[in-house]
Structure 1
Amino acid sequence: MPYSVEYLPEDNIIYTQFTGKVDLTQLHEGGAEIIRVALRENCQRTLTDFREADLTVSVLQIFNLPGELVEMAKAAGINIHTVKRAVVSAKDRTGLEFYETVSRNRGHHTKLFLDFEEAKQWLKG
């Protein structure tokens, strides 16, 4: 499994790390697990780490992903627009920059970072 999801109670953050080759199916599976943890822990802050991941998704898949996440969250009773999401990337982040833009254009509270600690502090602020 190219991802792990854990709740960090000291920060009240759901931390997800993706590693290796990551395709759309794995992004959906990881998203579903984040939603399960969010419900269980009543947590609305997520930190997703792609620094060690190689995303193998198309531009169209990236464009559709924010809408798909809305539907997944809605089915679980979560309003995605109330969730604060930080995404951490390595320097090569073209796909994730596009994801951030599409997400923000759709009213999601999402921000992309290169620095892990900066992302964590933004979530806490």
Structure 2
Amino acid sequence: MKSPRLLASCMGVLLVLPQHAWSESLRPIRLSCETQGPAAIRLCDAVRDELARRGFSDQPDAEFQLILKASDSDQHGLRARIGVVDGGPMREGQEAELSIMDHASIPESALRSFAASLLDHTPL
């Protein structure tokens, strides 16, 4: 009879520890977005979400800074690059372009994928 109580007690600890450990492992980063157009604004949100998924915490006082420069090229396109500031002058990444022709606007899934691709090519 003591086994179920012990198991329940251990399960409670297991459920609490991962959340606590996860919150302490977030790395501070500051994301600034210089955007022009509605899709560029949505891309900023997608980059912020992808950073969180990768274990970064967006904090205004963090020394390590990413600067997203993005602009809508038209209703179906978007150009963007990410610059990195880490204790020195900004290093700008290459400009990338997203173009969608078969939708009225850029789908969220395409923005998330584009955000991940931009970050994959950014030295974090």
- Scaled by the length of structure 2, the TM-score of the pair is 0.25
TM-score (norm 1): 0.25
Q: Which has the larger radius of gyration?
A: 2
> Which structure's residues are more often helix, by fraction?
1
